[in-house]
């Protein structure tokens, strides 16, 4: 069988496309080193809707005031055990540790603590 450059190129291209498809088709699960700070809470008895909203707005403000917070989730769609929930994403474990007692946290607590009844916090990372 004589060497046919055209057929060889077509076969090589077909193989390249096949293996590229396999590589693209594999879905890698990302395991970031950031920390997800999940808070579920019940509002304090008598907390007004304005106070509740101010507490949640304060979470968004925290992301502006504290460099270690990269993302926030504020709208609770469903919470099986509490009345509300929110999430803050910290860059890493050290950012979460440094946040505790920070000026940004203290400022937010002035609005949050009077509106909060009880809360549960979970910190999650990889």
pLDDT 10s per residue in the chain (126 long)? 455 655 556 655 555 556 656 556 667 888 999 999 999 999 999 999 999 999 999 999 999 999 999 999 999 898 888 999 999 999 999 999 999 999 999 999 999 999 999 999 999 999
Topology adopted by domain 35-124: Alpha-Beta Plaits (3.30.70)
pLDDT score for 6: 59
Residue 47 CB neighbours (<10 A): 17
Vertex 64: Cα angle to 32 and 111 (nearest 5): 110
**CA 31 to each of CA 35, 50, 93, 111: distance values in angstroms, whole numbers, following the listed order:** 11, 37, 14, 34
pLDDT score for 27: 73
pLDDT score for 12: 52
**What residues does each domain of the chain span?**
35-124
């Amino acid at each position: 069988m004589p060497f046919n450059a055209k057929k060889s190129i077509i076969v090589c291209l077909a193989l390249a496309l096949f293996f590229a498809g396999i590589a693209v088709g594999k879905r890698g699960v990302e395991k970031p080193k950031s920390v997800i700070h999940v808070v579920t809470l019940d509002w304090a008895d008598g907390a007004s809707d304005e106070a509740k909203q101010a507490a949640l707005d304060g979470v968004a403000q925290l992301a502006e005031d504290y460099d270690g917070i990269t993302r926030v989730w504020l709208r609770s769609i469903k919470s099986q055990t509490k009345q509300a929930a929110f999430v803050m994403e910290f860059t890493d474990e050290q950012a979460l540790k440094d946040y505790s007692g920070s000026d940004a946290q203290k400022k937010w607590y002035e609005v949050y603590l009077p509106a909060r009844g009880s809360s549960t916090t979970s910190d999650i990372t990889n």
